[in-house]
Structure 1
Amino acid sequence: MTKRYKIALLPGDGIGIEVIAQARRVLEAAAELDRIELEFDEIPGGAQYYLEHGVDWPEGSRERCAAADAIMLGAIGWPAPDGSGTILRSDGKMAGWEAIVGNRAKLELYANIRPVKLLPGVQHMISGTHRQIWEPENVDMVFVRENSEDLYAGIGGTRTIAGTPQVALDTRVITRQATERIMRTAFEEAMARPARTRGRRVTCVVKDNVLQGCRLFTGVFHEIGQDYPDVERDIVLVDAFTQWLVRYPELYDVVVAPNMFGDIITELASVLQGGVGMAVGCNVGDHHGMFEPIHGSAPRIAGQDKANPLAAILAAAHALKWMSGRHADPTLTVAGERIDTAVQSVLREGRTLTYDLVPAAQSSSTSAVATAVIIAMKADHAG
């Protein structure tokens, strides 16, 4: 009997709505080709939803996410109508918080795993010019970012006198329990990857010359690392790492970092793979997984069919492969790899890509890129 899988869709705001729609098209095509039964549960929410309804999403949405086999998130956030910044809730948290930060906390999605791989055919926009700088074989790493604490623990506040904020505090939290499980995830990721000619390595990115939390982080790094004698370990200060990452990306295999540092350095790393339009974020725990393109809602281009859907499409492929491991269903891996292969085919051809990957005069629409991926999937299946 064929198992039926449910995927919760959280399109969110702006271009999130557009790219999730295209990722769904690709998933539906993959399901048809590989005879997988997929059910989609689309849940509205985000900052714009908050503006209209006063809540982040409909009642019962968390339970719907928990009941799904995987979650696909688009983007969260939208400018406030008065131009004061992004829309905030009455409690000071970003509008749409429940869909992104809330899911990470309540579903225990403690690891944010971001593959950074330069695919053949992808060029970079440096100083406004599309050109190849790094060779694809030199950019192939995975970032494992702790996803549950650090400065995102939500501990802090503002002291206000006579209506004017005077002091703001954000308390950084690093615990042994959370650090142990993220280190285990990083070393397991290194063991699961093909061994490079330079061997397997986990690099720990911290600021342990100054911060106590980072000293705990590195101590646990070495403790857990002793269980993996075949994996080399090294530690790099975060400020130095930003330089080495751009100059010598081939040095890195698996990179593990606390939450805030991990958030920043993965955005920088996305430049190595062609920008945030190509970058995938996998928020996973022991029982649930939420997959997303790491770009924002991009109000400037929202609704124009211009956004790059490939990160969302690649996130969908990662979701299928993660589901395959949880359900011991190799068909899901086949479908995920079929999507990956099709994306690479479209990139190598270079004829149907969005404006962030090619000069604007040569660019194609969001929907046209997804269509090209589906055509490549069907050609792969027929061949």
Structure 2
Amino acid sequence: MSEVKIVALPGDGIGPEVTQVALDVLETVLEQHDLKLNVTKLPFGGTCYEEFGEPVTDEILQTCKETKVVLLGAVGGPQWDDLSANKRPEAALLKLRSELGVFANLRPIFVHSALAGASTLKEEVIEGTDILIVRELTGGVYFGKPRFTSEENGDPFSVDTMKYSRSEVQRVTRIAFETARLRDKRVCSVDKMNVLESSRMWRKSVLEVAEEYPDVELSHMLVDNAAMQLIRNPKQFDVIVTGNLFGDILSDEASMLTGSIGMLPSASLGGENGLYEPVHGSAPDIAGKGIANPLAAVASAALLCRYSLDLEPAAKKIESAILQLLEEGYRPADIYTEEPGTKLANTGEISNQLLTSLNEMADAS
């Protein structure tokens, strides 16, 4: 039996709970494909800071780089809010993305028909929504320099720099166009070119790449309009490509189309490296209560199968198990509504149902 090696970084808050469910699902589906899962679990974020005084160590980063495939839970918590910027759990996440070189963050926004009523928006507006947001992940204002705080005439001020190069824009744009070719062949590039110089560079660079893909339709939208259109008419979008800051905000906004941010997985890709994580945070208020929604983490494991293992059948099995669970009425607390046929399910019950579905699929094949 061949071996699949991954690093798991459970992180903080509900991270360990949802990561374990994802690992159990991943192990089960890989065994069905005669593959053995070999997991190296390492501390990350706040838990790593408590153990080593750093949110991530050089040794942990090196292991991630050597293994190339990383499944992450979540980081952060109020107990670390007062730490200096380079000691906070979030600093570990930025460093990991940079060290792995995972420059393209793929965030699928898919509204399951069974959950169309879970959103605060009208069902007829969101039902059938299927968007892929491709967010540039290692550039822009989160990484740009200089960044500093100073004082002028007794008045403190801070500077962050939004910087993009042509090559940074074009490599993530090619990812967007390639994925669009597998979907509805439409790309919407989101920027703020009417105000920002970096966005004018962004748009010019995207237009140059578009010439290589005559079969894909390209449109442009300013980010403020895109934020509005996501709520007004989300089904108009197929693939959205945008920068780091705008992608962060728009994908969190889009999570509300699905009913909860607890439903959103993500894949961050660069070269042979892949970082997979749910979009949600560490939710320290519910950590340890056994009620966390693990579906985004599980869906992230499906993306791991698709993009890092090139194992599409396994990815589809996991996604089918999620769909079956929802159609049977099981709901974690964050998307539960008292409707006929729905059942409030804790983290363990969700896990058991997913594993049962996967085993039933295997028996039927």
Specify the TM-score bucket, using the shorter chain as the normaliser: over 0.9
> What code does the residue aligned with 1:369 have?
I
**Is 1:80–2:42 an aligned residue pair?**
no
**Secondary structure class of the residue paired with 2:334:** coil
Match of 1:223 in 2: 208
Q: Provide the TM-score with structure 2 as the length reference.
A: 0.93
Match of 1:300 in 2: 285
Match of 1:365 in 2: 346
1:225–1:27 CA distance, 2 compared to 1 (3 A):
same
**Is 1:108–2:101 an aligned residue pair?**
yes
1:67–1:126 CA distance, 2 compared to 1 (3 A):
same
Distance 2:304 2:350 in 1: 20
**Secondary structure class of the residue paired with 2:256:** helix
Q: Does the aligned pair in 1 maintain the 2:278–2:300 contact within 8 Å?
A: yes
**Is 1:18–2:13 an aligned residue pair?**
no
The gaps in structure 2 that reach 5 residues or longer are none
* Alpha-carbon distance, 1:154 to partner: 4.7
Match of 2:179 in 1: 189
Deviations 1:171-219 (A, max 9, x none): 11111110110111111111122x3xxxx21101111001000000000
Distance 2:119 2:130 in 1: 20
Distance 2:78 2:155 in 1: 22
Matches within 5 A, 1:1-383: 2-80=1-79, 86-89=81-84, 92-93=85-86, 95-97=88-90, 99-125=92-118, 132-134=123-125, 136-137=127-128, 139-155=129-145, 156-159=147-150, 166-193=156-183, 195=184, 200-325=185-310, 332-350=311-329, 352-359=330-337, 362-383=343-364
* Alpha-carbon distance, 1:100 to partner: 1.5
Distance 2:328 2:304 in 1: 25
* Alpha-carbon distance, 1:51 to partner: 3.6
Distance 1:365 1:322 in 2: 29
> What code does the residue aligned with 1:23 have?
A
Q: Does the aligned pair in 2 maintain the 1:13–1:78 contact within 8 Å?
A: yes
Structure 1 range deviating more: 2-11 or 48-57: 48-57
Deviations 1:78-99 (A, max 9, x none): 1137xxxx2534xx23522454
Give % identity: 32
Distance 2:17 2:265 in 1: 16
Structure 1 range deviating more: 248-257 or 362-371: 362-371
Deviations 1:280-309 (A, max 9, x none): 111110120000000000011111011100
Q: Provide the TM-score with structure 1 as the length reference.
A: 0.89
Distance 2:332 2:263 in 1: 11
**Secondary structure class of the residue paired with 1:144:** strand
Q: Does the aligned pair in 1 maintain the 2:286–2:292 contact within 8 Å?
A: yes
Distance 2:123 2:24 in 1: 30
Deviations 1:314-333 (A, max 9, x none): 000100111233xxxxxx32
* Alpha-carbon distance, 1:165 to partner: 7.6
* Alpha-carbon distance, 1:109 to partner: 0.4
Q: Does the aligned pair in 1 maintain the 2:119–2:256 contact within 8 Å?
A: no
Distance 2:3 2:348 in 1: 27
Q: Does the aligned pair in 1 maintain the 2:14–2:286 contact within 8 Å?
A: yes
Q: Does the aligned pair in 2 maintain the 1:134–1:272 contact within 8 Å?
A: no
Root-mean-square deviation over aligned CA pairs: 2.1
> What code does the residue aligned with 2:134 have?
V
**Secondary structure class of the residue paired with 1:280:** coil
Distance 1:218 1:378 in 2: 48
Structure 1 range deviating more: 371-380 or 27-36: 27-36
Distance 2:320 2:204 in 1: 40
**Secondary structure class of the residue paired with 1:347:** helix
Distance 2:321 2:118 in 1: 23
Q: Does the aligned pair in 1 maintain the 2:6–2:68 contact within 8 Å?
A: yes
1:131–1:378 CA distance, 2 compared to 1 (3 A):
farther
1:171–1:57 CA distance, 2 compared to 1 (3 A):
closer
Distance 1:173 1:204 in 2: 17
**Secondary structure class of the residue paired with 1:55:** coil
Distance 2:291 2:82 in 1: 24
Q: Does the aligned pair in 1 maintain the 2:306–2:315 contact within 8 Å?
A: yes
Q: Does the aligned pair in 2 maintain the 1:355–1:362 contact within 8 Å?
A: no
Q: Does the aligned pair in 1 maintain the 2:11–2:73 contact within 8 Å?
A: yes
> What code does the residue aligned with 1:382 have?
D
> What code does the residue aligned with 1:153 have?
F
